[in-house]
RNA sequence: CGGGGUGUAGCGUAGCCCGGUUAUCGCGCCUCGUUUGGGACGAGGAGGUCGCAAGUUCGAAUCUUGCCACCCCGACCA
């Protein structure tokens, strides 16, 4: 019964697709590059949203909503920005359809051509900064701390469910500050929020760092990121936070009067995480039997499955099961009791395993007689029988243990797959074998970065924030280097 | 967007090279019965524009052309 319908991790791409589809997270839509997020997948995303949204609000941000459509002219105001996104923008040119001549369908009405074409947002910096101009006049209006949850569209050549789709869901924070230092502080603060979320809730350790100019967000002065390591040894950028300097303030003429009465451009940040995090969740923890969810993000961390013969027995079990459910819920644990008569216990076991439910409780006649219940944990697949009287505490502790265990396993994996390397041949070998991340010296030039990419397929994921300065030589050019950076193949 | 591959019932497939009754098998689905501690068993049943569109032909799942979608590998990107 192992690996039911799931390709093994040796074929990582196929394995990933199998899990996303079979665990009911998402499926492909009829529209190229888009996905349908199914209820179970969306429930996980809602959990992520709820946790992050709370953190955003705790750090002083407010939610707002800006339009999907952006006037084309806005995008041309910040040169680097348009450079970065022009190639992947969807454009709205008309506003009406009409019945075709032969009456069999609809066609675009040529008379309904827009005077100014509209862009479906690939990100909202431009429309937001155009709006901020009207919101900011004095230092008293600052800081402006805005977030929005929305969809964006980037016309991708090659898509993969969650990891890269043309339309995806995300949040984008946009802030304006009076001082450069405040904007920088904000940028770093939100990076910390993301890192904390990733490690405490997703149970994925991340490296916080700075992007090289090559990898920097179009229009940013600095891009910070968190990088996670997936089970196939590739790195995944899980969140970004940008210090925008005064670039957008200048492009959209957002000025404020200082206490001294001088007019100055505001300083800005923007930061975001997307449904890509769903992909990270799958690739970091899951196994050949399916999805493995950290309890903190599982739509229901506990499922109870009754095992019974006949309605009479079910009635008895129902009574006890509901009692257990209430006890667990009293501890703040969400529980699904699956007493559907349309599926057999064995089928349910397999299904919840595939869906990655952290803890499964099985309750049968034998348990009723012995005052026990069977507990199975998804991460290790261990089963034990527990006294029913103490089940709430047991499960509560177990969920915490699973959460910690997943993080520890992921951290161990990263420790074993992040090596300091000083020899380029060895570097190449590591990349060829897909052995993960490499910490190496780099001379700081884009040329070297590019050459290394060509020869190894690895890119600089980030310059870690906690790096200790040490003198060394660039792994490729042997030129002097002051610190190590993280290289890896990336998603 | 370039290279390779795939497309037959909800899913996985046989048939295609070499055109010819009613398109194969498994899973799933429906009904009835027996079952229920790791994807139950028996009997019966439903379900198909063979990805789409043209073409060749007496006749196309099968041959030709075009298109579409998906998967894998590149370039691009979060």
* pLDDT single digits (tens) A353-362: 999 999 999 9
| Alpha carbon A373 to its chain's center | 36
Give the Å distances, CA to CA, from A205 to A49, A188, A322, A410.
Answer: 19, 17, 37, 7
Does this chain's domain A296-413 share its CATH topology with A418-488? no
What average pLDDT is seen over chain A? 93
Q: Which residues contact A367 (CB under 8 A, 6 or more apart)?
A: A373, A374, A385, A388
Which nt has its C1' nearest the CA of A84?
B77
Distance CA A245, CA A270 (A): 10
Protein contacts on strand B: list nucleotides below 7 Å from a Cβ. Answer: 1-2, 35-40, 68-78
Higher-confidence residue of A450 and A138: namely A138
* Mean local confidence (pLDDT), A167-174: 95
Which nt has its C1' nearest the CA of A346?
B38
Which nt has its C1' nearest the CA of A22?
B11
Residue A1 has pLDDT above 60, yes or no: no
Distance CA A411, CA A407 (A): 6
**Is the C-beta of residue A13 closer than 7 Å to nucleic acid chain B?**
yes
> What is A418-488's CATH topology?
Translation Initiation Factor IF3 (3.30.110)
Residue A110 has pLDDT above 50, yes or no: yes
Closest residue (Cα, C1') to B71: A14
Domain A296-413 in CATH: superfamily?
Anticodon-binding domain (3.40.50.800)
Residue A341 has pLDDT above 50, yes or no: yes
A395/B37 CA-to-C1' distance in Å: 20
Q: Which residues contact A261 (CB under 8 A, 6 or more apart)?
A: none
A144-165: pLDDT as tens digits: 999 999 999 988 888 889 998 8
pLDDT range class, residue A2, cuts 50, 70, 90 = very low
Handedness of CA A90, A154, A222, A149 (dihedral sign): positive
Poorest-pLDDT segment among A5-9, A41-45, A207-211, A223-227 = A5-9
> What is A12-71+125-285's CATH topology?
BirA Bifunctional Protein; domain 2 (3.30.930)
Indicate the domain borders of chain A. Answer: 12-71+125-285, 296-413, 418-488
What per-residue confidence (pLDDT) applies to A155? 86
Q: Is A386 helix (H, G, I), strand (E, B) or coil?
A: strand
pLDDT range class, residue A46, cuts 50, 70, 90 = very high
Give the DSSP letter string of A307-357: E-SHHHHHHHHHHHHHHHHHHHHHTT--EEE---SSS-HHHHHHHHHHTT-
pLDDT range class, residue A86, cuts 50, 70, 90 = confident
A485/B2 CA-to-C1' distance in Å: 32
pLDDT range class, residue A109, cuts 50, 70, 90 = confident
As a whole-number percent, the residues of chain A with pLDDT over 70 amount to 98
A181-236: pLDDT as tens digits: 999 999 999 999 999 999 999 999 999 999 999 999 999 999 999 999 999 999 99
What per-residue confidence (pLDDT) applies to A338? 97
A373-408: pLDDT as tens digits: 999 999 999 999 999 999 999 999 999 999 999 999
A9/B62 CA-to-C1' distance in Å: 36
Q: Which residues contact A290 (CB under 8 A, 6 or more apart)?
A: A6, A19, A22, A23, A353, A354, A355, A356
A16/B10 CA-to-C1' distance in Å: 21
What per-residue confidence (pLDDT) applies to A4? 59
Residues 285-344 of A with CB under 7 A from strand B: 289, 307-310, 341, 343-344
* Mean local confidence (pLDDT), A10-30: 86
A273-293: pLDDT as tens digits: 999 999 999 999 999 999 999
Residue A3 has pLDDT above 60, yes or no: no
Distance CA A310, CA A288 (A): 34
Query: What is the four-CA torsion angle of A353, A170, A236, A489, rounded to 10 degrees?
Result: 130
Burial (CB count <10 Å: 0-12, 13-18, 19+), residue A295: buried
Residue A45 has pLDDT above 50, yes or no: yes
Residues 253-282 of A with CB under 7 A from strand B: 274-276
The answer to whether the beta carbons of residues A352 and A303 sit under 8 Å apart is yes
What per-residue confidence (pLDDT) applies to A104? 65
Residues 68-107 of A with CB under 7 A from strand B: 84, 87-88
Residue A18 has pLDDT above 90, yes or no: no
**Is the C-beta of residue A171 closer than 7 Å to nucleic acid chain B?**
no
| Alpha carbon A393 to its chain's center | 31
What per-residue confidence (pLDDT) applies to A344? 94
Residues 366-385 of A with CB under 7 A from strand B: 366-368, 373-374, 376, 381, 383
Distance CA A33, CA A30 (A): 9
Higher-confidence residue of A8 and A105: namely A8
């Amino acid at each position: 019964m192992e690996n039911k319908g799931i390709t093994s991790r040796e074929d990582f791409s196929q394995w990933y697709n199998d899990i996303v589809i079979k665990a009911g997270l998402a499926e492909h839509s009829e529209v190229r590059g888009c996905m349908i997020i199914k209820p179970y997948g969306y429930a996980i995303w809602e959990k992520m949203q709820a946790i992050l949204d709370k953190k955003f609000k705790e750090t002083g941000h407010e939610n707002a909503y800006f339009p999907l459509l952006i006037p084309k002219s806005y995008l041309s105001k910040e040169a680097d920005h348009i450079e970065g996104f022009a190639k992947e923008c969807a454009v709205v040119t008309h506003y009406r359809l009409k019945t075709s001549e032969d009456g069999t369908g609809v066609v675009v009405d040529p008379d309904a051509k827009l005077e100014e074409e509209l862009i479906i947002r690939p990100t909202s910096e431009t429309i937001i900064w155009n709006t901020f101009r009207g919101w900011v006049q004095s230092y008293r209006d600052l800081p402006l701390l805005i977030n929005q949850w929305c969809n964006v569209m980037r016309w991708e050549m090659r898509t993969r469910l969650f990891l890269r789709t043309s339309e995806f869901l995300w949040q984008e924070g946009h802030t304006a500050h009076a001082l450069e230092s405040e904007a920088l502080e904000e940028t770093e603060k939100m990076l910390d929020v993301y890192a904390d979320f990733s490690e405490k809730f997703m149970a994925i350790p991340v490296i916080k760092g700075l992007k090289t100019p090559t990898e920097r967000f179009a229009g940013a002065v600095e891009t910070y990121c968190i990088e996670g390591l997936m089970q196939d040894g590739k790195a995944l950028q899980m969140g970004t936070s940008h210090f925008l300097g005064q670039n957008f303030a200048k492009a959209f003429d957002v000025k404020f009067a200082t206490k001294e009465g001088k007019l100055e451009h505001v300083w800005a940040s923007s930061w975001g995480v997307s449904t890509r995090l769903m992909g990270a969740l799958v690739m970091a923890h899951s196994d050949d039997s399916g999805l493995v969810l950290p309890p903190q993000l599982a739509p229901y961390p506990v499922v109870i499955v009754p095992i019974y013969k006949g309605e009479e027995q079910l009635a008895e079990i129902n009574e006890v099961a509901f009692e257990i459910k209430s006890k667990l819920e009293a501890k703040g644990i969400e529980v699904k009791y699956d007493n559907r008569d349309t599926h057999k216990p064995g089928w349910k076991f397999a299904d919840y395993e595939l869906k990655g439910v952290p803890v499964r409780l099985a309750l049968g006649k034998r348990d009723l007689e012995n005052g026990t219940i069977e507990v199975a944990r998804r991460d290790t697949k261990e089963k034990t029988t527990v006294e029913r009287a103490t089940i709430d505490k047991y499960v509560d502790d177990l969920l915490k243990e699973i959460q910690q265990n997943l993080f520890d396993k992921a951290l161990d994996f990263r420790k074993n797959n992040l090596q300091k390397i000083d020899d380029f041949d060895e570097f190449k070998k590591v990349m060829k074998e897909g052995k993960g991340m490499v910490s190496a010296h780099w001379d700081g030039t884009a040329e070297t970065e590019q050459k290394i990419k060509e020869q190894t397929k690895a890119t600089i994921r980030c310059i870690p924030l906690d790096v200790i300065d040490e003198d060394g030589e660039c792994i490729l050019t042997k030129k002097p280097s002051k610190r190590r950076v993280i290289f890896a193949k990336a998603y």
